[in-house]
Amino acid sequence: MTTMTTTTTTTVLEASGVTMRFGGLTAVRSVDLTVNSGEIVGLIGPNGAGKTTFFNCLTGLYVPTEGKVSYKGTVLPAKPHLVTDAGIARTFQNIRLFANMTVLENVLVGRHTRTKEGLWSALLRGPGFKKAEAASHARAMELLEFIGLAHKADHLSRNLPYGEQRKLEIARALASEPGLLLLDEPTAGMNPQETRAAEELVFAIRDQGIAVLVIEHDMRFIFNLCDRVAVLVQGEKLVEGTSEVVQADERVVAAYLGTPFEGAPGAAEVAEVEAAEAEAAAAPDDAPSDTPGATGTGNSGTSTTGSEGKSL
């Protein structure tokens, strides 16, 4: 495990035909995605593209309307705790920590799926329990060391700065000893230095033999990190390939800037809106524009993603 052997690639995650409908809305449409051992795979797409919904389908939070998800060759039941038991851990876009627990306690919570000591053992606090507890404590501290938060082990998690809370979520996820880690916007709210450090952290996680699937809006982060990137647009996988391939694909740029491209989901609606805008622009301009914030029709993309500091 410690030395690099001639690695045979195995399929860690295989999602096939995953579809998730909410009433009339199809948030994820027939998405296939594979993650292999040793890989860091990125999942990108504009806001509302279905990325988090797809994660929720992978982790049993949602039961997909169609499709199936396998982990290391076994179809996963759609129950979050069984998915965690199987070996998939995740972090959440909206941080989910126990605010009034310490940093260490939050990591210990993440370990409970891997500790075999039962309720009675815990209540009676017998030698078995004490031994297991000590081992859990040691492992949790090791993980805190790994993410650089060991010195804050006894701080309340709510007192951590945002970037550190994100890292703590990662430690908590790692505490379940996963084979695959899913990260939903791990650098949201981080400053550039923290983001760089998070990049190193993800590489280090991969080097520990854990495959990673990561959602992010920070494109520099994604393209530096990922062996492969899949692009979701309006619930559908638009492109998948290496960073170079995805970066060079004009449909990806178009999807982010809201520019329609041939065959784009919703292209007809976009064309309709554009036609209406063109018509309005062509109207005699004797009256000043009364559209709030309408400073031009150039649509240069400066604010089209509506995201705060999220870069393409």
Ligand X SMILES: Nc1ncnc2c1ncn2[C@@H]1O[C@H](COP(=O)(O)OP(=O)(O)OP(=O)(O)O)[C@@H](O)[C@H]1O
Point out which residues bind ligand X (CB under 6 A): 22, 25, 27, 45, 47-53, 93
52 binds Mg ion (CB under 5 A): yes
Contact between 217 and 185 (Cβ < 8 Å): yes
Estimate to the nearest angstrom the gap between the alpha carbon of 27 and the chain centroid: 16
Binds 11, which of Mg ion, ligand X, none (CB < 5 to 8 A, cut-off by type)?
none
Give the nearer residue to Mg ion in terms of CB position, either 38 or 50: 50
In angstroms, what is the minimal distance from the CB of 56 to ligand X?
7
93 binds Mg ion (CB under 5 A): yes
DSSP-derived pairing of the beta strands 180-184 and 211-215:
parallel
Give the nearer residue to ligand X in terms of CB position, either 27 or 160: 27
Give the nearer residue to Mg ion in terms of CB position, either 103 or 230: 230
Bridge partners, 25 (sequence order): 22
In angstroms, what is the minimal distance from the CB of 175 to ligand X?
25
Give the nearer residue to Mg ion in terms of CB position, either 37 or 91: 91
Site string for Mg ion, 10-49 (x = CB under 5 A): ----------------------------------------
In one-letter notation, the amino acid at residue 266 is: G
Give the nearer residue to ligand X in terms of CB position, either 175 or 230: 230
Binds 259, which of Mg ion, ligand X, none (CB < 5 to 8 A, cut-off by type)?
none
In angstroms, what is the minimal distance from the CB of 50 to Mg ion?
8
In angstroms, what is the minimal distance from the CB of 78 to ligand X?
14
Estimate to the nearest angstrom the gap between the alpha carbon of 112 and the chain centroid: 23
In angstroms, what is the minimal distance from the CB of 182 to Mg ion?
12
Binds 47, which of Mg ion, ligand X, none (CB < 5 to 8 A, cut-off by type)?
ligand X
Binds 27, which of Mg ion, ligand X, none (CB < 5 to 8 A, cut-off by type)?
ligand X
In angstroms, what is the minimal distance from the CB of 190 to ligand X?
16
In angstroms, what is the minimal distance from the CB of 265 to ligand X?
12
Binds 53, which of Mg ion, ligand X, none (CB < 5 to 8 A, cut-off by type)?
ligand X
Q: Give the footprint of Mg ion on this chain (CB under 5 A).
A: 51-52, 93
